[in-house]
Amino acid sequence: MEPETSKAIFKGIRSQKQQMFILLYCNPESQTYDNGTQSYCKAYNTDNDNVGNVEAHTLLAKPHVIAAIGRYRAYLAEKNVFDLAWLDANLRNLYYKVKGATKEELAVLKTIGDRIGAFKDQNEDKAGMFIPLIA
């Protein structure tokens, strides 16, 4: 990331450790993605999950951290606009890798693939059908 971009994204963030926390918490490629406790523990180099839980909660409640998280997620979304061909290839690879896994895991992968149009060559044409994704 360019210094100017980093400065704009992390405006108001007081320390490198807070920046690292945001990077770990928001980046989907991070092992601690979307887990405040683990992101805090890794950024602040601690093994105490209780401290990580409390401090992550405190950080995630601060307006300047919330704003920086929003800006960083917007940056990631803009930077990582995915290519459907890449996603199709990787989804197939993942689907065949987990063959033999639980039915639920396979069903989730298949649903995602069907929803985004992956595996087109293996499904009958369902043009005009809208299948809502239920959360």
pLDDT tens-place string over residues 90-119: 666 666 666 666 777 767 767 766 666 655
Integer Cα distance of 115 and 96 in angstroms: 18
Rounded to the nearest 10°, the torsion over CA 34, 40, 42, 47 is -120
Handedness of CA 57, 12, 38, 75 (dihedral sign): positive
Residue 86, token pair as written in the block: 């890449």
pLDDT tens-place string over residues 49-69: 999 999 999 999 999 999 999
Domain ranges of the chain: 3-79, 84-122
pLDDT category, 18, cuts 50, 70, 90?
Answer: very high
55 Cβ neighbours under 8 A, 6+ residues apart: 40, 44
Minimum mean pLDDT range among 17-31, 73-87, 112-126 = 112-126
Integer Cα distance of 135 and 63 in angstroms: 27
Q: What is the pLDDT of residue 129?
A: 62
Q: Is-above-0.85 flag for pTM? A: no
First and final C-alpha spacing in the chain: 33
CA atoms within 13 A on the CB side of 130: 1
